[in-house]
């Protein structure tokens, strides 16, 4: 294994790859199965663990949404198989209202925290940070391992909550008190809520341990020559995501602890003057609105914790497959920074109709709409990146393009909701459901899929089947629009979200057919995800083998490692970096790896292009 990656050239030689197949045999003592795959401290294995657990949660969370979509589409039908699957939650094949809300709550909790935070940021921050900055592993591999296992603990506690007698938390993923604080208010607010709070507490520890590692690794462990402004946009995105997480998640932890106090030892942080179940409660002087401030102080940055990694992945995949530099690299970095800062001062736009002081409301309108500026810059820069490119429409590239389309569609409706006057009629209607599912849910999923398809060869040494990938992409893109586009119409007709059925109201009951239409497409899109899951596991073992180190002809460091890199990533020395990561189609070269020193004629070229 004498090959030194430092000398890797811009045009990779396809034959070399085969030499590296045994790279993982080198450098380390023999590890047994448990050390290597279960309690692994290798960031790449931990990344895969996050990914696979995240996928398991995605299937569960997605399935939950199908169950409640059945109720919304056919409120008067019974589905015997629901009773088979859900037992007393769906007695006689009819979903019970309490468990409808439990499913909605769990769907939100699982997708936001377990899938799009742990599964997305956990996977790709872990996988790409050391590989792309040129480090052998995270700053603290042990803490990194703990981060994953706290996620497992959190998952176990949440799973247990699904099986308790009174059912899991059912007051929405936002867990607003008093509904979620009082067992008298809803069955799910009993032990189910204590478990929910405990699970979220464990999850926050997981995020903190991971985040500290990501930030430390990016700051301290970059290889020689890897200055901040030579980092790929993926790393910038993960870096700021980790910072947002470290600053905002602890606030949710505080809120969760105070809520546990209110529930179990009689404090009054979040409640006052409550008469329920025929009795006056002793809570006095607390404010339910305070909880909302604390919750959204995390809750809003959380949507950027979800979307920034997707933006980073998409920027990288677009550049590689357009064979062009990302347009406006520095503008992209500063727009991430701008979003990061603004994400902390927009939280109260979730609270325009809580009785917030109108002046405070107007300040939050200003900052909220301001955040559209960096977002717009990013969209224009992505579109300019593909302009005059040489677009290779791989599965990863298709999902990246889908991301941009969805981010535009969902981002624009944010301009309505962020403006407090328009929020009055639209707040808590299906318009909001459509908005955040498209801009945060779907877009983040598309970014994640772009990342999975693109880096799968690096993760497993094989390609995902591209025909199945195409099927997955087109059904998901078309189906997603079919699910969420019509929800705008329902929202514009005033239909509120979180309704078990609509027949009681003459003003909300015109959408029976639309609800059926949405549910049918939800089932189709879910089926397409099963195709993906199958492809994921099948290709791991039987997929087309990767035969060169750098199958996408990319410039970044992860493609200078062997096809199946062992713990430590580079068998020889860590490569040195000489340039930024976006030299595609420059000066007659297809691409120039970051490890290639700048030549004299290139300097001439640079001068001519400025």
The yes or no reply on residue 164 touching other proteins (CB under 8 A) is: no
Binding of other proteins by 489 (CB under 8 A): yes
* Residue number, 114 or 584, with CB nearest to other proteins: 584
Q: How far is the CB of 357 from other proteins (least distance, A)?
A: 9
Structure tokens at 178: 């008093």
Q: What are phi and psi of 429, to 5 degrees?
A: -110, 180
229 belongs to the binding site for other proteins (CB under 8 A): no
At residue 354, the 3 state secondary structure works out as coil
Q: What is the DSSP string of 445-464?
A: HHHHHHHHHHHHHHHHSBPP
Q: DSSP characters for 488-512?
A: HHHHHTTPBSS-S--TT-TTTTT-H
Query: Comparing C-alpha atoms, which of 370, 361, 351, 365 is closest to residue 293?
Result: 351
Q: How far is the CB of 477 from other proteins (least distance, A)?
A: 7
Under a CB-based contact definition with an 8 Å cutoff, are residues 557 and 28 in contact? no
Q: Is 436 in the site for other proteins (CB under 8 A)?
A: no
Considering only CA atoms, which of 259, 265, 261, 260 is closest in space to residue 295?
A: 259
Closer CB to other proteins, residue 323 or residue 516? 323
How many C-beta neighbours within 10 Å does residue 433 have? Answer: 20
Site mask, other proteins, residues 100-139, x = CB under 8 A? -x--------------------------------------
Interacting residues with other proteins between 497 and 536 (CB under 8 A): 498-502, 504-508, 510, 527, 530-531, 534
Rounded to the nearest whole angstrom, what is the least distance from the CB of residue 167 to other proteins in the complex? 11
What whole-number distance in Å separates Cα of residue 530 and Cα of residue 543? 17
Shortest distance in whole angstroms from residue 184 CB to other proteins: 7
Residue 427 contacts other proteins per CB under 8 A: yes
Query: Are the C-beta atoms of residues 486 and 514 closer than 8 Å to each other?
Result: yes
Site for other proteins in 170-199 (CB under 8 A): 170-172, 176, 178-179, 182, 184-186
Instruction: Work out whether 74 is an interface residue with other proteins (CB under 8 A).
Output: no
Q: What's the min distance (Å) between Cβ of 573 and other proteins?
A: 29
- What is the distance between the alpha carbons of residues 60 and 107, in angstroms, rounded to a whole number? 8
Q: From residue 130, how far is each of 111, 216, 222, 297 by CA, in Å?
A: 26, 11, 8, 30
Answer for which of 81, 142, 163, 228 binds other proteins (CB under 8 A) is 81
In Å, the largest CA–CA distance within the chain is: 84
Minimum distance between the CB of residue 226 and other proteins, rounded to whole angstroms?
A: 19
User: By CB under 8 A, is residue 570 in contact with other proteins?
Assistant: no
> Residue 541, interface with other proteins (CB under 8 A)?
no
Q: Which is nearer to other proteins, 56 or 376 (CB)?
A: 376
Backbone φ/ψ region at 278: left (φ over 0), alpha (ψ -120 to 50), beta: left
Residues between 8 and 67 that touch other proteins (CB under 8 A):
none
Does 420 contact other proteins by CB under 8 A?
Answer: yes
Task: Please pick, from the candidates 85, 391, 598, 603, the single residue that binds other proteins as defined by CB under 8 A.
Answer: 391
Work out how close the CB of 436 gets to other proteins at its nearest, in angstroms, rounded to a whole number: 15
The contact pattern for other proteins, residues 347-376, with x = CB under 8 A and - = no contact, is: ------xxx--x--xx--xx--xx-xx--x
Q: Which stretch binds other proteins (CB under 8 A): 232-240, 442-450, 585-593, 595-603?
A: 585-593
**Please, which residue, 2 or 504, has the CB nearer to other proteins?**
504
With CB under 8 A as the contact rule, the residue among 474, 537, 597, 599 that binds other proteins is: 474
CA angle 502, 505, 511 (to 5 degrees): 45
Least distance (Å) between residue 402 CB and other proteins: 9
Which of 6, 66, 160, 379 binds other proteins (CB under 8 A)? It is 379
The three-state secondary structure class of 3 is coil
- 603 counts as binding other proteins under rule CB under 8 A: no
Interacting positions 269-328 with other proteins (CB under 8 A): 271-278, 280, 286-289, 322-325, 327-328
Full DSSP string of 12-57: --GGGGGGGGGGGGSSSPPP-HIIIIIS---HHHHHHHHHHHHHHH
**Could you give the CA distance from residue 178 to residue 161 in angstroms, rounded to a whole number?**
20
Distance CA 189, CA 102 (A): 10
Please say which residue, 265 or 608, places its beta carbon nearer to other proteins: 608
Residue placing its CB nearer to other proteins in the complex, 151 or 455: 455
């Amino acid at each position: 294994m004498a090959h030194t990656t430092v000398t890797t050239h811009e045009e990779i030689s396809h034959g070399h790859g085969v030499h590296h197949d045994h790279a993982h045999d080198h450098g380390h003592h023999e590890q047994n199965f448990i050390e290597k795959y279960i309690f692994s401290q290798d960031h790449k294995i931990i990344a895969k663990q996050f990914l696979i657990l995240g996928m398991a949660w995605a299937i569960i969370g997605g399935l939950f949404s199908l169950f409640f979509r059945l109720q919304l589409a056919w409120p008067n039908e019974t589905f015997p198989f629901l009773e088979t699957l859900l037992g007393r939650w769906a007695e006689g094949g009819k979903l019970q209202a309490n468990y409808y809300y439990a499913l909605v709550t769990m769907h939100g909790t699982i997708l936001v925290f377990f899938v799009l935070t742990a599964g997305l940021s956990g996977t790709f921050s872990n996988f790409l940070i050391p590989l792309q900055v040129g480090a052998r592993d995270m700053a603290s591999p042990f803490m990194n391992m703990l981060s994953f296992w706290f996620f497992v603990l959190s998952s176990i506690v949440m799973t247990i909550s699904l099986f308790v007698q009174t059912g899991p938390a059912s007051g929405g993923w936002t867990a607003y008190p008093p509904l979620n604080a009082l067992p008298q208010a809803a069955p799910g607010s009993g032990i189910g809520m204590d478990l929910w709070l405990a699970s979220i507490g464990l999850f926050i520890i997981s995020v903190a341990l991971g985040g500290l590692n990501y930030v430390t690794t990016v700051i301290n462990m970059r290889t020689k020559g890897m200055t901040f402004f030579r980092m790929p946009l993926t790393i910038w995105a993960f870096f700021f995501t980790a910072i947002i997480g470290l600053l905002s998640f602890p606030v949710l932890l505080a809120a969760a602890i105070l809520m546990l106090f209110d529930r179990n030892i009689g404090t009054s942080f979040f409640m006052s003057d409550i008469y329920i179940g025929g009795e006056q409660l002793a809570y006095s002087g607390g404010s339910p609105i305070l909880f909302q401030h604390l919750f959204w102080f995390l809750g809003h940055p959380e949507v950027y914790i979800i979307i920034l990694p997707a933006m980073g992945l998409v920027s990288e995949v677009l550049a590689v497959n357009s064979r062009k530099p990302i347009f406006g690299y520095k503008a992209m970095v500063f727009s991430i920074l701008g979003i990061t800062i603004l994400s902390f001062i927009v939280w109260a736009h979730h609270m325009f109709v809580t009785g917030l002081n109108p002046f405070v409301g107007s300040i939050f309108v200003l900052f909220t709409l301001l955040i559209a500026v960096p977002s717009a810059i990013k969209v224009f820069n992505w579109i300019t990146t593909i302009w005059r490119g040489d677009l290779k429409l791989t599965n990863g590239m298709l999902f990246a393009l889908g991301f941009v389309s969805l981010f535009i569609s969902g981002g624009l409706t944010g301009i309505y909701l962020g403006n407090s006057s328009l929020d009055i009629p639209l707040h808590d209607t299906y318009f909001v459901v459509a908005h955040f599912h498209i801009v945060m849910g779907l877009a983040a999923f598309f970014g994640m899929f772009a990342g999975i398809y693109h880096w799968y060869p690096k993760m497993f040494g094989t390609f995902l089947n591209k025909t199945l990938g195409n099927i997955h992409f087109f059904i998901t893109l078309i189906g997603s629009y079919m699910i969420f586009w019509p929800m705008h119409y329902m929202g514009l007709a005033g239909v509120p979200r979180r309704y078990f059925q609509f027949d009681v109201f003459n003003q909300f009951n015109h959408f029976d057919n639309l609800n059926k239409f949405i549910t049918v497409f939800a089932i189709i899109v879910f089926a397409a995800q099963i195709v993906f899951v199958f492809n994921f596991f099948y290709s791991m073992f039987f997929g087309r083998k990767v035969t060169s180190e750098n199958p996408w002809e990319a410039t970044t460091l992860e493609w200078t490692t062997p096809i199946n890199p062992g713990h430590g990533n580079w068998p020889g020395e860590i490569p040195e970096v000489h340039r930024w990561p976006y030299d595609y189609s420059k000066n007659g070269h297809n691409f120039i790896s970051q490890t290639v020193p700048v030549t004299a004629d290139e300097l001439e070229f640079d001068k001519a292009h400025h």
